[in-house]
C-alpha cells in the first residue's frame, strides 16, 4: 500500500478480494477530535471477468444505516448515479437520484478501478470513480471573511456527514475489492509503486487542479508525490504532505522522510512515521533530517543519467 502519513487513518489490503468492504469511523462526529470535518475514503478494486452485469455501490451511512450520500455505477449501462436520502420527504426515508451521467471509461475485464469520497462539510462531499467526478455543477457562497468561495453543489440529503459512522462499498458480478484507505491522507494504487511519475500523475488527475477534477477533486494539487529530479524514484524528503488532526488551527502540512524506491514513509524506532509539521508562517519550512532515507546509489545513477542527457 502506498500513501504518506496515514498516522490517524488506515490502509489495508483485502487479501480475500471480497465484493464488499466496510470501514467504521473512529470518534465519529467528534469535531474536537479531528480538528476539521475533512475525511478521505478510497477503495481500490479490479474486474475479474466480464463486467457487463456488474453494479458498484458506495455510500456514507449513519449508525442506524441511513444513507447520507452515495454513488452507483452500472457497468452494463455505462452510467453513474449520485444518491441521497431525500430531504423533502419528512416522514419516510426515500433514496433518490440527485445527479446522473455517462461513464467516460467503460468497465473492462482485468482493469483496476478506484472510488474516492472526500468529506468537506456536512452537506458538501465529493465522489469520483476511476478519476471521473460523480457530480456536476458548482455553487458560490460567502465565507466568514467576506470572500466568495466556489465549491461543488450542496447535497440535498436529509442526513449530514456529521452523523456518519461508517463508509461502505459493494459490488456484484465481476467487481472485487483489493484495498481500502481512510483518514486525513491520500493514497495511490499498487500499480504505481515502482514509478513515482505514475503515482504523481494519478493523484494529479484526482486533484482540484483545473486539469484534474477542479472543484470536485479530492485534494489540493500540491499534496502529490515528489519525484527525485523528475525520475521514477520518490524524493527522500516529501515537502507537502496532507494535514491531519494534529496540524493545529492553521492546518499546517507535514514533511516526511520516504523510501526512494516505494514512496513509503520511513518509520522511527518506536514505529511512528518520520514526519514533522512544517514550521509556521510566514515562512513555511522543514527541519527534518532525511539523510538516512537518501539512497546514494539511486541519486548517483539519476544524476549521471541527467548529465548524459545534457551532453547529447
pLDDT in tens, the chain (312 residues): 345 544 446 889 999 999 999 999 877 777 777 777 888 999 999 999 999 999 999 999 999 999 999 999 999 999 999 999 999 988 899 999 999 999 999 999 999 999 999 998 889 999 999 999 999 998 887 777 888 888 889 999 999 999 999 999 999 999 999 999 998 878 899 889 889 999 999 999 999 998 899 999 988 888 899 999 999 999 999 998 888 888 877 788 899 999 999 998 999 999 888 999 998 766 678 989 999 999 999 999 999 998 887 765
Q: Tell me the whole-structure pTM to 2 decimals.
A: 0.89
Q: What is the pLDDT of residue 167?
A: 96
Alpha carbon distance 74, 103 (integer Å):
9
Q: What is the pLDDT of residue 220?
A: 86
Judged by DSSP in three states, 32 sits in helix
Rounded (5°) CA angle 269-273-276: 115
Alpha carbon distance 228, 238 (integer Å):
10
Helices (H) and strands (E) in the chain, counts: 3, 19
Q: Which sign does the torsion angle of CA 161, 244, 282, 216 carry? A: negative
Residue carrying C-alpha cell 461502505: 168
Q: Which sign does the torsion angle of CA 92, 98, 102, 104 carry? A: negative
Alpha carbon distance 9, 36 (integer Å):
14
Q: What is the CA radius of gyration of the chain?
A: 20
Q: Which sign does the torsion angle of CA 95, 179, 226, 254 carry? A: positive
What are the beta bridge partners of residue 128?
116, 133
Distance, C-alpha 270 to centroid of its chain: 27
DSSP state at residue 204: H
With 0-12 / 13-18 / 19 or more C-beta atoms within 10 angstroms meaning exposed / middle / buried, residue 234 is: buried
What's the longest Cα–Cα distance across the chain?
74
Amino acid at each position: 500500500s502506498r500513501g504518506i502519513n496515514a498516522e490517524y487513518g488506515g490502509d489495508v489490503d483485502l487479501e480475500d478480494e471480497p465484493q464488499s468492504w466496510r470501514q467504521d469511523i473512529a470518534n465519529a462526529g467528534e469535531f474536537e477530535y479531528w480538528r476539521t470535518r475533512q475525511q478521505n475514503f478510497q477503495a481500490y478494486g479490479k474486474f475479474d471477468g466480464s463486467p457487463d452485469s456488474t453494479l458498484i455501490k458506495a455510500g456514507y451511512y449513519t449508525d442506524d444505516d441511513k444513507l447520507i450520500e452515495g454513488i452507483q455505477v452500472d457497468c452494463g449501462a455505462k452510467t453513474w448515479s449520485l444518491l441521497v436520502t431525500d430531504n423533502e420527504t419528512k416522514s419516510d426515508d426515500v433514496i433518490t437520484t440527485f445527479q446522473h451521467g455517462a461513464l467516460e471509461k467503460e468497465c473492462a475485464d482485468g482493469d483496476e478501478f478506484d472510488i474516492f469520497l472526500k468529506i468537506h462539510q456536512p452537506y458538501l462531499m465529493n465522489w469520483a470513480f476511476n478519476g471521473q467526478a460523480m457530480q456536476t455543477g458548482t455553487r458560490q457562497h460567502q465565507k466568514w471573511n467576506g470572500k466568495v468561495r466556489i465549491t461543488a453543489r450542496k447535497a440535498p440529503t436529509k442526513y449530514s456527514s456529521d452523523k456518519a459512522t461508517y463508509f461502505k462499498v459493494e459490488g456484484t458480478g465481476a467487481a472485487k475489492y483489493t484495498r481500502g484507505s481512510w483518514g486525513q491522507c491520500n493514497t495511490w494504487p499498487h500499480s504505481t509503486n515502482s514509478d513515482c511519475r505514475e503515482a504523481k500523475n494519478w493523484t494529479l488527475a484526482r486533484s482540484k487542479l483545473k486539469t484534474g477534477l477542479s472543484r470536485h477533486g479530492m485534494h489540493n494539487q500540491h499534496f502529490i508525490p515528489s519525484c527525485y529530479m523528475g525520475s521514477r524514484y520518490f524524493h527522500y524528503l516529501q515537502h507537502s504532505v496532507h494535514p491531519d488532526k494534529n496540524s493545529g488551527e492553521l492546518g499546517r502540512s507535514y514533511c516526511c522522510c520516504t523510501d526512494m524506491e516505494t514512496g513509503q514513509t520511513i518509520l522511527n524506532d518506536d514505529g511512528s512515521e518520520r514526519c514533522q509539521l512544517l514550521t509556521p508562517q510566514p515562512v513555511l519550512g522543514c527541519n527534518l533530517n532525511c539523510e538516512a532515507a537518501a539512497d546514494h546509489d539511486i541519486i548517483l545513477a539519476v544524476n549521471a543519467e541527467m548529465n548524459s542527457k545534457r551532453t547529447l
